[in-house]
Structure 1
Amino acid sequence: MSEEVIVRDFEAFRKLVGLDELRLERLRVAGEWLRPKVTEITDAFYERLLADPTTAAFLDGKIEHLKNVHHAWIEDILSGVYDESFFIRQIKIGKAHVKNQVPPLFLASGFSILRVLLFDQIEVATKINQPDACPRCARALGRLLDACQFLIDRSYEQDRLNRVSNATGMSLPLIEALVMLKR
């Protein structure tokens, strides 16, 4: 599955979930509110991961580097710039997760933790900035996080297909055709 295929699928995903200009504008507002909280969000995120023995063991010796990378990623998510380059970066992040053998469970639970942390911060910011200042900002941010997770997850899918191809000698198009067979 090439980046071109992933981007094509992503465009369909974006249309289906309604990640449109109105929601992107809401994301820009949410970003203005949340950017000052990125360090706090990143620290809380890693506190949650370090509280679990399984994820804590996986993070051992890497925490400061990972916090810096996570901080930059959250800044990017809250930047208000959601062009093709942004989404290509999400694909590359997925490839880095696969390369570094981050278990899919950690990725999925990390996104869940992040949603809670960001939505809590939006709730606080909404109260400070007036409730009607950004209707449905949390929902728009949720859609963006869903899009990022979709793109990152595709890297795991691609890795699995590549491993099956290497183990069996079957071509990727053949494997993908087999996956698409109806029951």
Structure 2
Amino acid sequence: MSSDFDKLSQYAKSFTGLTPEREALLMEVGKQIKPKLAGVTEDFYRQLLAIPEAADFLKDRVESLKKTHLRWMEELFSGPYDKTYAERMFKVGDVHVKVKLPVEFMAGAMTLINNRLIELIVETYGDDKKRCAEVLTAVSAVTGMTLLVMQQSYQASSLAEELERFLKISGMSRTLFANLAAAYKDK
């Protein structure tokens, strides 16, 4: 699934409820929310640095990671949430795989982000309960979609590792495996 990012984007949206209406809402509220996201990023990294297991992955990179994180946070409220976005998020997940970041760190980190975004949304729209609920639902949908796409990188990596183990154990060449897979693809 990972090579077809349009399909992956639609798949992730179907699980998280990121509808065109919610996408439009995120872009609409972005004008009010984006100026406040630097504080979310600062809080996020402060929390991560307080977790010893997470801090090990951040050494000497916090300032550059904050810049990347803030750009992504702004993108959450800018769109579009299409195959290009899915491909970028898949690559972010792939970077996490390459630095051997445990997959649960992504879910935990997204929870920390969502917790802070909830506070921000309630501060901004709390006087209008209906609007606040709609924005919170849209934020949950886009961050859920993002997490789902990033986690696909871990699954793709796991499959590649399993294939490498199989090839090593069986003594089969990659070419022979590819030819066999192609022969049975349509059956």
Alignment TM-score, normalising by the size of structure 1: 0.83
Deviations along 1:3-43, one digit per CA (max 9) or x if unpaired, are 11x54244134234432111112212332221011110000
> What secondary structure sits across from 1:3 in the alignment?
coil
For 1:2-151, list aligned pairs within 5 A.
2-4=2-4, 7-127=6-126, 130-133=128-131, 135-151=133-149
Residue 134 of structure 1, CA deviation: 5.2
CA distance in 2, matches of 1:60, 1:16: 34
Larger radius of gyration: 2
CA distance in 2, matches of 1:22, 1:2: 26
Contact 2:40/2:117, CA 8 A, preserved across alignment:
yes
Runs of 4+, deviation exceeding 4 Å: 130-135, 170-174
> What secondary structure sits across from 1:59 in the alignment?
coil
Residue 101 of structure 1, CA deviation: 2.0
Residue of structure 2 equivalent to 1:168: 166
CA distance in 1, matches of 2:107, 2:15: 21
Contact 1:10/1:151, CA 8 A, preserved across alignment:
yes
CA RMSD of superposed structures (Å):
2.4
Contact 1:19/1:143, CA 8 A, preserved across alignment:
yes
Residue 47 of structure 1 aligns to which amino acid in structure 2? R
Contact 1:26/1:134, CA 8 A, preserved across alignment:
no
CA distance in 2, matches of 1:17, 1:106: 20
Residue 158 of structure 1, CA deviation: 0.4
Residue 89 of structure 1, CA deviation: 1.3
Deviations along 1:57-79, one digit per CA (max 9) or x if unpaired, are 22121111111111111111121
Deviations along 1:117-163, one digit per CA (max 9) or x if unpaired, are 111100101037x4455551111110111110010000011001101
Aligned residues: 173
Q: Percent identity?
A: 27
Alignment TM-score, normalising by the size of structure 2: 0.82
Moved more, 103-112 or 147-156: 103-112
CA distance in 2, matches of 1:69, 1:44: 15
Structure 1 unaligned runs (5+)? 175-183
Residue 26 of structure 1 aligns to which amino acid in structure 2? L
CA distance in 1, matches of 2:12, 2:55: 33
Contact 2:23/2:138, CA 8 A, preserved across alignment:
yes
